[in-house]
Amino acid sequence: MKVVLQELTKIFPSRTKKGQEVVAVNKFDFEIPDGKLVGLLGPSGCGKSTTLYMICGLQKPSSGKIFFGEDDVTSLAPEYRGVGLVFQNYALYPHMTVKQNILFPLQNFKGADRLSKSEMLERAYNVAKLVQIDELMDRKPNELSGGQQQRVAIARALVKMPRVLLLDEPLSNLDARLRLQTREEIKRIQRETGITTVFVTHDQEEAMSISDIIVVMKLGIVQQIGKPQSVYDDPVNLFVAKFLGTPPINVFQGTVKGGRLYIGEDNVLATPDVEDQEVFVGIRPEGFIYDKNGPLHCNLRNVEVMGRDVSIVSTSDASLNPTIRSIVDADNKIDTENQTVSFSLKPHKVFIFNKETEERIRFGNTASPAEVKE
């Protein structure tokens, strides 16, 4: 089931008479292809959860339309949309066993849709097997670990065979190790069921690792939509570039003069066809090459050895981050005696942005933006 959002907008009225209304989601246009896993990504307050709740039906859009396939569901109540929702804190009914929790949505079916008792049980056990909790059916939620509760919540959302599965911050309540495991699990379940899935997260790593498509949002406005790798490799503006990637991108003050990019006094890169102007320069940590004769000079702070890689921490007056973090291969022997460290740069890992609009300025070395086409 593809999901189409047309100019979807949500405006919350102000609480006080004089206060301003809040535009939580602003003209969101997007077609989620059938059977894909889509991650809505953004800092808190960017409108990603509001978007999810509008798709779900718990919140009504101020304007715009939502289609499931060809059906306009914009004004449809959530129970008629056929969506499964997994809440951030799972919202498992604490007084019911796992089995009762999973059966609960099925018991709401009325009339011709109503299943016999044995059919209900069969469906419940099938979905429990899918999420691997069929051993725990008689436990209460408080007797389960966080990861198990999460699975139960997914099972409860899946048991009624929804057209769309929605997950609100699915991993935020899990510890780091479980998070890694569970995100693989969500990916697997999504693949096996083939249900169009939308999930919300503020964790870019999480979104990057499992989504087929990510949507980066900021203050209610969609910044960029695309495959995780292409959004990472080709951000449209400074916000997206800063939001994606760990360690985060290094940002510098820079100047373009005569087709060359300067960071401080250092002439680092050729930027053909770019007009002379002040710019922000973003360099991915992996975009640095340790090079004694490199054009970029920074003050060496320290070197962190991480086994496969070496992380060089340095500072520069031109840097907007407190420290510059560059990741180079461990084969490099870093001269820690020296006060300064020099780098040359991989051009495709260097992005320049307009100082006012913070929009990307392209300079020939990067491919045109990869469109999402499925």
Partner 1 sequence: MVDSKKQWKAWLYLSPVIILTLVFTVWPIINTVRIAFLNDYTLMGDAGGMTFSVGVKNFQKVIQYPDFLICLKNTILLTVITVPISTFLALLIAVCLNSIKVLNKLLQTIYFLPYVTNTIAIGMVFATMFSMVGSGFGGADPYISTAGIINNILGVFGIEPVNWVNAGSTYWANMFVMIVYIVWNALPFKILILLGGLQSVNKQYYEAAKVDGTSRVRTFFRITVPMLSPMLAYVIITGFIGGFKEYSSVVGVFGEGMGPAGTEGTLNTMVGFINTNLMGKKPREGIASAGALILFVIIFAVTMLNMYVSKKRVHY
Choices 63-71, 88-96, 181-189, 204-212; region in contact with partner 1 by CB under 8 A: 88-96
Q: Which of 94, 272, 307, 322 binds partner 1 (CB under 8 A)?
A: 94
Question: Tokens for 33?
Answer: 């292809």
Spatial separation of the C-alpha atoms in residues 52 and 33, rounded to whole Å: 16
The site string for partner 1 over 26-65 (x = CB under 8 A, - otherwise) reads ------------------------------xxx-------
According to the binding rule CB under 8 A, does residue 78 interact with partner 1? yes
According to the binding rule CB under 8 A, does residue 228 interact with partner 1? no
User: What is the side-by-side order of every strand in the sheet holding 360-361?
Assistant: 266-270, 260-263, 250-257, 277-283, 350-354, 360-361
> Interface residues for partner 1 in 96-155 (CB under 8 A)?
104-105, 107-109
Q: Give every CB contact of residue 265 below 8 A, 6+ residues apart in sequence.
A: none
According to the binding rule CB under 8 A, does residue 87 interact with partner 1? yes
Pick the closer one to partner 1 by CB: 12 or 109: 109
The site string for partner 1 over 243-282 (x = CB under 8 A, - otherwise) reads ----------------------------------------
Q: Give every CB contact of residue 338 below 8 A, 6+ residues apart in sequence.
A: 300
| Tokens 């994606």 -> residue | 244
Q: Which of 206, 241, 207 is nearest to 223 (CA)?
A: 241
Pick the closer one to partner 1 by CB: 105 or 228: 105
According to the binding rule CB under 8 A, does residue 91 interact with partner 1? yes
Pick the closer one to partner 1 by CB: 83 or 372: 83
According to the binding rule CB under 8 A, does residue 73 interact with partner 1? no
Pick the closer one to partner 1 by CB: 97 or 277: 97
Q: Give every CB contact of residue 7 below 8 A, 6+ residues apart in sequence.
A: 27, 28, 29, 63, 64, 65
Distance of CA 79 to the CA centre of its chain: 27
Query: For residue 61, which amino acid is it?
Result: P
Pick the closer one to partner 1 by CB: 85 or 256: 85
**Per DSSP, which regions of 76-149 are E strands?**
83-86
Q: Work out how close the CB of 171 gets to partner 1 at its nearest, in angstroms, rounded to a whole number.
A: 17
According to the binding rule CB under 8 A, does residue 313 interact with partner 1? no
Phi, psi of 180 (to 5 degrees): -60, -45
Q: Which of 60, 95, 117, 292 binds partner 1 (CB under 8 A)?
A: 95
SS3 content of the chain, % helix, strand, coil (to 5): 25, 35, 40
Q: Which of 196, 199, 113 is nearest to 150 (CA)?
A: 199
Pick the closer one to partner 1 by CB: 79 or 175: 79
Pick the closer one to partner 1 by CB: 114 or 129: 114
> What is the binding site for partner 1 (CB under 8 A)?
56-58, 77-80, 83-85, 87, 89, 91, 93-95, 104-105, 107-109, 156, 160
